[in-house]
Amino acid sequence: MSVTRTPAPDWSGRMDPEDGPDAIRLHQLVAPGARRAVIGFACDAGVTRNKGRIGAKQGPAALRQALANLAAPADAELFSDLGDVTVDGDALEAGQETLANAIADALSDHERVVVLGGGHETAFASFRGLRKAHPRARIGILNLDAHLDLRLPSEAGGSSGTPFAQIRDLDPEAFDYLCVGYAEESNTQALLKRAQEWGVKLVRDHELIADPLAANPAITDLIARNDLVYLTIDIDVLSHFQAPGVSAPAARGVPFSTIERIVSLVLKTAADLNTSLPLADLVEVSPAHDRDGVTAKTAAVLARRLLLG
């Protein structure tokens, strides 16, 4: 069991020189010292402990590959790649500590960091890194997810199902958590009662299917009452046909267009209210279970928006 920091891979992809200087794709925007950055968390330990389908360790590589050939928008800025934190075996806690420190360091040089992979145990490391970088800030957590991930750690420790319970344990009074897209049949009554006891705000998948704007008031309120927003996106919030390559595919899921709209809302509202969005992550991409790379491609569209929006 070990944890290693691996350097950023070389990005490559399609080139269209015949179309002139505006034919730019994301692999051509990767450069050191940019305002925004990606970092990978290659880890299966959290999903393994949570008895899920393993494969999230390959998520960062698949996401980079899917990002590489996406077209760049007009006036796109450069972004940096900070490499990966790679967890071998069950060295989850050491991996989370390494990632938290890497994020804290990165936020001193970059205005926004986007974490790619692994399972949702990533969130505990992500939040700790953000808290280290901003020890006195009020932080609101927005989780787009079919699962509340409020399980209590077992004797084996934390897992991909426990990150927000672990975050609450750090400072119960400051815990401000909104879960958007949760599925009732994917969360036990124990978890739903815990969410109620802890003051967690919830928006069901059914509500978003009936009304794509159903979460807007809760999201706006979360952003308005905090200094910073941490956005974490579990790709299993989407329907199984949109995201088959995850640890736990959704039978129902939230439409992708709604999740895109929510990401745009978060970016715009944070800017309008002068609330910072320094950190986001996209987790649970499991390439071994992906069909035609559609899950990685879906997550890459969201990552592109967060990096360049």
pLDDT tens digits, 276-303: 999 999 999 999 999 999 999 999 999 9
Q: Hunting for tokens 């009732």 — which residue is that?
A: 184
Instruction: Report yes or no: 92 and 157 within 8 Å, Cβ to Cβ.
Output: yes
pLDDT band for position 309 (cuts 50, 70, 90): confident
Q: At residue 228, what is the residue type?
A: L
What CA–CA distance (Å, rounded) separates 291 from 55?
13
Q: What is the pLDDT of residue 1?
A: 77
Q: Which amino acid is at 65?
A: Q
Least confident stretch, 48-52, 68-72, 188-192:
48-52
pLDDT of residue 261: 98
Contacts (Cβ under 8 Å, ≥6 apart) of 274:
none
For residue 306, pLDDT over 90 is answered with yes
CATH number at residue 6: 3.40.800.10
* Residue 76 C-beta-side C-alpha neighbours within 13 Å: 23
Tokens for 112, please give them: 């926004």
Indicate the burial class of 42 (C-beta count within 10 angstroms; 0-12, 13-18, 19 or more): buried
Q: 272 is in which domain, residue-wise?
A: 2-308
> Where residue 113 falls among pLDDT bands split at 50, 70, 90?
very high
Name beta bridge partners: 203: 180
What are the C-alpha distances in Å from 44 to residues 6, 60, 240?
A: 16, 12, 21
Q: Establish how many alpha carbons lie within 13 A of residue 47's alpha carbon, considering only the half-sphere containing its beta carbon.
A: 26
What pLDDT does 281 receive?
98
Write the DSSP symbol of residue 240.
Answer: T
Taken as a whole, the chain contains a residue count of 309
pTM: 0.97
The answer for residues whose C-beta is within 8 angstroms of residue 151's C-beta and 6 or more apart is: 50, 159, 161, 162, 165, 191
Per residue in 123-178, pLDDT (tens digit) is 999 999 999 999 999 999 999 999 999 999 999 999 999 999 999 999 999 999 99
Inter-residue contact 217 to 130 (CB < 8 Å): no
What is d(CA 304, CA 27) in angstroms, rounded to the nearest whole number?
A: 11
42: helix, strand or coil? strand
Q: Are residues 205 and 229 in contact, defined by beta-carbon separation less than 8 angstroms?
A: no
% of the chain beyond a pLDDT of 70: 100
The amino acid at residue 13 is G
pLDDT, one tens digit per residue, over 190-245 is 999 999 999 999 999 999 999 999 999 999 999 999 999 999 999 999 999 999 99
Beta carbons within 10 angstroms of residue 27's beta carbon: 19
**With 0-12 CB in 10 A as exposed, 13-18 as middle and 19+ as buried, what is 267?**
middle
Q: How far apart are CA 99 and CA 104, in angstroms?
A: 9
Q: How far is CA 33 from the centre of its chain?
A: 22
Torsion of CA 58, 178, 257, 12, to 10 degrees: -30
Span 245-262, pLDDT tens digits: 999 999 999 999 999 999
Task: Count how many domains the chain has.
Answer: 1
